[in-house]
Chains A and B, each alone.
Chain A
Amino acid sequence: MNGLLVLFDLVLLAGIVGVAWRCLASTDLFRAVVLFITFGLLLALAWVRLEAPDIALAEAAIGAGITGALLLVTLERLRSIMAERRSGRPHTPPPDPTGPHALLRALHDPPPERRTFLPALTFALVVGGLLVTALWHQPQSTGLEPVVDAHMDVSGVDHPITAVLLNFRAYDTFLELAIVLIALLGAWSLGRHDLIPARPAPGPILPGTLRLLVPVAIVTGVYVLWAGSHAPGGAFQAGAILGAAGILLVLARPHQLPMAPGVPLRLGLTAGVALFLLVGLYGLVAGHGFLGYADAWAYPLILLIEIAATLSIALALVALFVAGRPAGDDA
């Protein structure tokens, strides 16, 4: 039985390395994106084998699912930009390698010459060697597991991962939420509001399936959020599931998007970070330290922060997919 599992792990490892190699070596961007999504799914499987279902869920939902959708829509936008340029100026002189849009062009240029092979190989061998040496000199320690287990009773939740993410190391989670928000601000500050280059399939099948899938996705998202306090799950996974439902809706009806009202949208987007910060500051004033909770209040506060964070993450992921600010809101 154990031998079979080792065999499975080896095949999985070979698959991960192989898909990563094909993804990096592909000169076709669409193929590279599809391989990246495959890579994410295989990586999720690897996390399952490492007995980290929380990370597996997050990797499958965010790493493979949402990031894949973001990359695909970016590719589609790049294509329409390139097509526009080609049709507009049919006989352009060879482009200046340092000029504007150099980055955009570089994406479509042929891969670099063979002479980069030797430096790249040397670099890969040095980094690989360092990583192997690091593995060799791993200290004999049990990690932080006993420490976390010893403090579970004051964490307010029953699931050690959630206890670490929202109590013991809440600072990290707070910054992760802030990064999602900052990414969205970056996308909005580019100031585009073009439509999503989607071509919804005509016919009743897609809307019919969405009528079926979106309620299921909402129930699953809320369940995963709720389960976070005692089992694998939590705000990021739940937010990704709800965000995916939103992206499906956006993709199915790109021309009839309801205008997102500016103020409620912004309130929803910042709810996670704002509430987290507020609770953190209160902890500072009340003497529990920044982002510390009173023991009795830990559970309700964690739940409140998780709900707000889920809402913000889901909204931010959909908004990142749509990319531009809501049209007609330049004020």
Chain B
Amino acid sequence: MIANTLTVVLILAGLVFFAAGTAGLLRFPDVYSRLHALTKADNVGLGLVVLGLMFQASGPADILKLLLIWLLVLAAGTTAAHMVAQRTWTHGEFESDR
């Protein structure tokens, strides 16, 4: 019962970060502030969802797998954000063909 409540609370908290990150991605004016909003969804939002799901895991193996997923997304997300920011810094905002 306590585990289920914790899961629901943590996942809902994570979803708030995802919603805020998405809103920021859509509404913020430039690349840097959009990245700032997006990385919050990836890092904290997914972290809270993973933490919530850990209370439903059937054993330590599942918990470690969930942790690994979060760490991998952290590494990949951070690098991707860094590369987008770096490219914007050196080449200016991305311009589409149209």
Q: Please give the residue numbers on chain A whose beta carbons come within 8 Å of chain B beta carbons, in ascending order.
A: 27-31, 79, 108, 199, 201-203, 205-206, 209, 212-213, 216
Contacts and interface: CB of A to CB of B under 8 A. Distances in A.
B72 A108 contact: no
Interface of B: 72, 75-76, 78-79, 82-83, 86-87, 96-98
A29 B97 contact: yes
B83 A201 contact: yes
Contact of B96 (A28, A202, A205, A212): A28
A79 B95 CA distance: 12
A258 B67 CA distance: 35
Contacts of B72: 213, 216
Nearest to A107: B97
28 contacts: A27-B98, A28-B96, A28-B97, A28-B98, A29-B97, A30-B96, A30-B97, A31-B96, A199-B87, A201-B82, A201-B83, A201-B86, A201-B87, A203-B82, A203-B86, A205-B78, A205-B79, A205-B82, A206-B82, A206-B83, A209-B75, A209-B76, A209-B78, A209-B79, A212-B75, A213-B72, A213-B75, A216-B72
Contacts of A212: 75
Given A28-B98, A201-B83, A212-B75, 8 more contacts: A31-B96, A201-B82, A201-B87, A205-B79, A205-B82, A209-B76, A209-B78, A216-B72
B79 A206 contact: yes
Contacts of B97: 28-30, 79, 108
A221 to B, nearest CB: 14
Contacts of B98: 27-28
Contacts of B83: 201, 205-206
Contacts of A205: 78-79, 82-83
A27 B75 CA distance: 33
Nearest to A207: B79
Contacts of A30: 96-97
B53 to A, nearest CB: 16
Contacts of B87: 199, 201
B80 to A, nearest CB: 9
A157 to B, nearest CB: 23
A37 B72 CA distance: 20
Interface centre among A28, A108, A209 (most CB of B within 10 A): A209
A31 B98 CA distance: 10
Nearest to B83: A201
Contact of A202 (B75, B79, B86): B86
